[in-house]
Amino acid sequence: MLDEVTNTSKLFDQARERLSLAAEYLTIDPDVLQKLRYPKETLSVCLLVRMDDGSRRSFKAFRCRYDDTRGPTKGGIRYHPAVNIDEVMTLAFLMTFKCAVANLPYGGAKGGISVDANQLSRSELERLSRAYVKAFAHFIGPERDIPAPDMYTNSMVMGWMADEYSAMVGQPSPAVITGKPLELGGSLGREDATGRGGYLALRHLESDLHLVPEKSRVILQGFGNVAYHCARLLHGDGYKIVGVSDSRGAIYDPDGMDPIAIMEHKRSVGTVSGAPTNGTCKEMDNSELLEQDCDVLIPAALEGAITNQNAHKIVAKIIVELANGPVAPEADEILDKKGIIVIPDILANCGGVTVSYFEWVQNKAGFYWDLEEIHRRLESIIVPETRHVWSIKTEKQVDMRTAAYILALDRISSAIAAHGTKDYFAS
């Protein structure tokens, strides 16, 4: 069923259900829910790009600013063939709540281009990225909407985009985008920020979750940037990494493995399969890995990894959502009934946007912090906000996801109220 106003379907509607659930626990003005029901603005354009062979190709591109009540909007730009307006709106919605959970002075946004970036040459990719900025220059801005990398975009793409924007406005404008190369005003500590944030949240909850590092076995799905850094930090503190996977396969060894050695192997051969471990390693299908025996399961690949098809087979006691939306809404209930605690994406992976915020602050101040300062400030946000969510969970007897949405909704709703009633009188 398509929504009559936004023309959206299941994905977006499912995201909004989580908002309705949280609203049941708060006394919220109905106006607030009405405001958050639809994105503030969404722009869809067609980018015409000259290819290396002289031909021109068109690409669909999107940007959604979901809500800017708490500040300029913030969110990544994704390059993927499956990017569509529904996905962009859903991820912008998620960003709105993620920024509020971390208490950053931001609203939420997201953007994307429907493209298989692997099929483009480097110069085609640069022209496409610059075309995106030209098309959305009036929509983004250091005080309006600040993009960042997402799937298949990286610091190189952010560097091109910052350069294009600066050329258009006639002055250096590093604060328009985050995730830039260090040479162009990027921040130290951005690379491992998302994995580190998840690690800090889990470690902070150890006694509540009855976890003892030396006795806790961890499986990570999607051994890329985020999972690797989280695994490295947990392993360094005594956790046993027993399984990892990527798009090409999975390995499981109950005797454990060293994530640094696994990453060296992946970098040399392109997959975790065949990597050295401490005992008898079993190779398996990446979906099979999710169902193996462990204490902590960390999905860090794609949306919808755990659905009603496999949720009942999960044996982990705790799930840390480092990916966005890896647990489908219909799986939440099954996991909850099994007593599995899910540390939700809007809390578990907010370390990334938090250090992006630090980058923006440093760009605006023109003063750059050392790594120690970044780590200290990240911890000073993740630890109290994790405690905040846990306290709401305990007090209201809800799961952690609902608790995180309650915290975020409460903050957004207070900000909406603080803006006053100008619009009411004007109309």
Residues that bind ligand NAD (CB under 6 A): 150-151, 194, 221-226, 245-247, 286, 300-302, 322-324, 349, 352
Question: Which one, 329 or 352, has the nearer CB to ligand NAD?
Answer: 352
Compute the least distance from the CB of residue 393 to ligand NAD, in Å.
22
Within 10 Å of residue 233's Cβ, how many Cβ atoms?
Answer: 19
Question: Which one, 151 or 167, has the nearer CB to ligand NAD?
Answer: 151
The secondary structure element, H or E, covering residue 283 is strand 282-284
Q: Distances in Å between the alpha carbon of 407 and those of 34, 251, 339?
A: 18, 38, 22
Compute the least distance from the CB of residue 285 to ligand NAD, in Å.
9
Question: Which one, 127 or 235, has the nearer CB to ligand NAD?
Answer: 235
Residues linked to residue 74 through DSSP beta bridges, in sequence order: 108, 146
Distance of CA 173 to the CA centre of its chain: 25
Question: Which one, 69 or 194, has the nearer CB to ligand NAD?
Answer: 194
Task: Determine contact, residues 300/226, Cβ cutoff 8 Å.
Answer: yes
Largest Cα span, the chain = 71
Residue type, 396: K
Compute the least distance from the CB of residue 244 to ligand NAD, in Å.
9
Q: Which residue is nearest to ligand NAD (CB)?
A: 224
The catalytic residues are 110
Question: Which one, 119 or 421, has the nearer CB to ligand NAD?
Answer: 119
Both structure tokens of 344:
């939700």
Half-sphere exposure of 314 (CA within 13 A, CB side): 32
d(C-alpha 223, C-alpha 217), whole Å: 16
Compute the least distance from the CB of residue 225 to ligand NAD, in Å.
4
Compute the least distance from the CB of residue 29 to ligand NAD, in Å.
31
